[in-house]
Structure 1
Amino acid sequence: MIGFSIAVFLRQKDTLNLYGGRTLAVSQRRGERRKMTIIKWTGIEVAALRTALRDTQVQFADRIGCSIESVGKWERRGADITLGAKYSECMDTARRRLDDEQRARFEAALDQDQRKASADVFPRPAGDPTGCSRSPMVMIRPSGGASDGSRRGSGDDSISTLRRLLMGCIPDTPPVKEAEMAAAVAGTWDLFFSARLGEMERTLPAVLAGAYSAAEESTGERRRRVHILLAQLLHASANLLGYVAHADLAALALARADALAAESGDELTQAAIKGSQSWILAKSGLYDNAAAYAEVAAVGIEPRLSTATPRHMAIWGELLCYAAFAASRTGDYGEARRFLRLCESAGTQLEDDYGTRPEASNVFGRTSAASFGVINEVSANRPREALKLASVISGGDTGIPPTLQSRRLINVAHAQIGSRDDAGAVDTLRRACSMAPEFVGHIPLAHELTNELMNRRSRLQASGLLGVADHLGSSIRA
């Protein structure tokens, strides 16, 4: 076993944790700050108290007189765990000692959770195919003019339809067969990796509606298999939504996918989904949470290198990449390098050809550690080291999908700009745009780098840079 320590930093603002069941007695008078009495301490209140104190888990464990493993367990399990009398008393004491500012943070954290719970963002009825837990899902069955899901309207129409589907408004659509669902999963991910996001956006609503209908009518072992396929479709939907600036819907799709995979007992599918949940947290700036989420998921499926299947290694490696990315964003470059060394171990177990990858959602390969290393070294202000890793990428995997390769090229351009190779950066950005023109427009870093180069364009071949700027719709022309 390759072992590494677990460091859990899941906090109350982590929108992917489905907290619930908190018991509070709240009294409030007009013009006065509320006073909360904690009737029972669960992992939710523990996380809020640590947030209020701004403690690390190590500091908090020392303050309370418990182990760091206990703190991690309480926060991971949330409302599903209730502290015993000894530690509840310790929490009461720590809470009484809060100053006004700390108490305000504590109450704000608990209020935030209460608002999330009352909003029913993640509904789950008994028998709901999504397996999410809260109030019943509304199944809309129009009496007339039922949509067959084939309408191809604007992008906004498609996103609105996806929103309604994810919120539980399922049209009366004929169920698809299991084989058709499996083909739809492969086809949907192919659209994503081929950078055909517009086509993917238009086709997803009909595909999801048919899959939901199939899940609703299935039973037994077939129901389990259909749930796994539905989880994979929701996973694909989340990746699209995350790139087209709908992170809230992406988080919702991933929460539903995660619940389905857990209910179905498919550990590896669930782990792959958790990788994307870490990515969404990072996109929201919650880097500590993102690193912890990916690390815990990686530990949960840690393989034996001598016996693990290629699918197992690929999913584990992808989780380590997400953990490294988030760690680098927190400024912990050494920790990111540690994750990336483990990525290299996983990559050596896989073939070079991406065309034979064992998981439709996964693009992890032998050069993935180097590609994420580029990001880490640029963040650490080591552009020359980043460019050395970039040269490793070009000599590795074959058949890399356009979305992945174009994203890698944008990171290389970032390193080139840091090394003052502006002309090289322009050429790299042009290659990224030609490789995946629709996809590159959704990458904020591509816009940032182009705008930076536009301010230096007197030293560049203006025609090439202007072509990139025109493609991205850059607002800088002076």
Structure 2
Amino acid sequence: MCTWAELTTGRRIKLLRGSDLTQLALAEAADVPYGLVRKAEQDRCELSIGSLLKLAAALQTDPTVMVGQQAPRQGMSLGTRAALRALSDAVHESALGEWDGCEDPSGVEALSEARDGAWTAYWAGDTVTVSALAARVLMEGQARYSTASGAERERLGLVLASTYRVAASCATGYGYRDLALSALTSAKGLARESGDPVLGALLDSTLSWTYLRSAQLSRAVAVAERAALRIEPSFSTSDRPHLLAYGRLMISAAVAASRGEDGSAADTYLSQAHAAAARLGSDMKLHGTNFGPTAARTEAVGIAVALKDYGRALTLSSHPDMRTLPAGMSKVARNRYRLDVALAQASSGLYDAAGDTLVKVGLDAPEWVKHQALPGVIGRRLASVSTARVRRIGELIGVPLIG
């Protein structure tokens, strides 16, 4: 199988166009002749720099992807690529003060509502809506923030910081590390100016996850641990927001430690997360973050899987409290947990159960699952028993699980 770099430019254009666009539609979107697109896909012409840039813009991708210097994310649709490009533009242009066209920006209440909508869309796996709402908040919010003062400026700062955070979370999920770090840089500055330690701690939780996804495990642990020490609560007197932030940071540290196969450290951090969850007593949502007993239990399963303690993972997942997930649990969190369970099942020889769990994930979150690594890992383990069934599952959920 050829790598992306080994494909011809014409083949790359055809794959990027996919089924979303016809050749004619691509030509019209790029403002180039139809014949140019047809010949380019057949590798019968040499594209000029100008045509290459026009086609890349129409396909909502970077010219470096077009020429094979970097590969696109697997399974990413044209709509998702366009959404991430728009989100990237908003993150950078808003921070640079390039908010032309925002002469009459929305007020704090409307921007807060849009920010909340972006978080809801994020946890539902709806990247297009995340981008549309977050871009609006960042551009209009920064325009208003530049002239605001007093209480309005403080509230706008918190709204903007939280919105940069959802942008960073979305970017991290797709492997766009540099975009995530840019968004978090802007968010941290706003959080410091607004003086909200809880939001600042949650930003570090997202930063820890960004490092985790970049395989910088020691940095992921260190960031979460330092932030937790700054906000460490007294379990007898602390308010719920501080408990939420502390618990989420302990989860971040535990997950990163487990990926580094440090079971002792992971268990220590996880026990602190369970303590914070017990003190909270019920699940809580703040600044787009969910934490409480449900998160502590489901993350414990994922940590056991990362440590290859599949028996423990299955024992935890079979606890009475885990048999029925809360109705309010987000689609993304629910299916992350299910993938962990499916991997534990497949690794324990429960192949039919693993296949059924994987199908549930694919049907519940068909777009989200395309960008996850675990389905492929699970598919390869199931293929040791029946490649035919794995192919059927892949066709059912729209994800090729084996070659």
TM more than 0.5? yes
1:402 — aligned with what?
331
- Confirm whether residue 285 of structure 1 aligns to residue 215 of structure 2: yes
Task: Output the CA distance in 2 between the equivalents of 1:321 and 1:213.
Answer: 36
Identity over the aligned pairs, expressed in percent?
Answer: 26
* TM-aligned CA distance change 1:422 to 1:359, over 3 Å: same
1:418 — aligned with what?
347
2:290 partner amino acid: V
1:200 — aligned with what?
130
Q: Identify which of 202, 211, 222 aligns with 2:141.
A: 211
The alignment of Structure 1 onto Structure 2 pairs a total of residues equal to 319
Deviation at 1:309, TM superposition (A): 2.1
| Contact 2:243–2:276 (8 Å) recurs in 1 | yes
Task: Output the CA distance in 1 between the equivalents of 2:377 and 2:131.
Answer: 25
* TM-aligned CA distance change 1:307 to 1:397, over 3 Å: farther
2:397 partner amino acid: H
User: Pairwise mapping of residues 249-260 of structure 1 onto structure 2 (< 5 A)?
Assistant: 249-260=179-190
Gaps in structure 1 of 5+ consecutive residues: 1-152
User: Pairwise mapping of residues 36-435 of structure 1 onto structure 2 (< 5 A)?
Assistant: 154-167=79-92, 168=96, 169-173=98-102, 174-352=104-282, 354=283, 357-392=284-319, 393-394=322-323, 397-435=326-364
| Contact 1:197–1:438 (8 Å) recurs in 2 | no
| Contact 1:366–1:396 (8 Å) recurs in 2 | no
* TM-aligned CA distance change 1:334 to 1:395, over 3 Å: farther
String of CA shifts for 1:114-171, please: whole Å, max 9, x gaps: xxxxxxxxxxxxxxxxxxxxxxxxxxxxxxxxxxxxxxx9433332232233222433
* TM-aligned CA distance change 1:437 to 1:280, over 3 Å: same
2:397 — aligned with what?
471
2:8 — aligned with what?
none
Segment of structure 1 superposing worse, 250-259 or 446-455: 446-455
* TM-aligned CA distance change 1:292 to 1:467, over 3 Å: same
2:318 partner amino acid: S
Segment of structure 1 superposing worse, 248-257 or 160-169: 160-169
Higher helix share: 2
Q: Given the two structures, how large is their TM-score scaled by the length of structure 1?
A: 0.63
| Contact 2:339–2:375 (8 Å) recurs in 1 | yes
Gaps in structure 2 of 5+ consecutive residues: 1-77
- Confirm whether residue 441 of structure 1 aligns to residue 366 of structure 2: no
* TM-aligned CA distance change 1:172 to 1:451, over 3 Å: farther
Deviation at 1:398, TM superposition (A): 4.7
Segment of structure 1 superposing worse, 446-455 or 425-434: 446-455
Task: Output the CA distance in 1 between the equivalents of 2:268 and 2:369.
Answer: 29
1:158 partner amino acid: A
- Name which structure has the greater RCO, CA cutoff 8 Å, separation 6+: 1
Task: Output the CA distance in 2 between the equivalents of 1:258 and 1:422.
Answer: 45
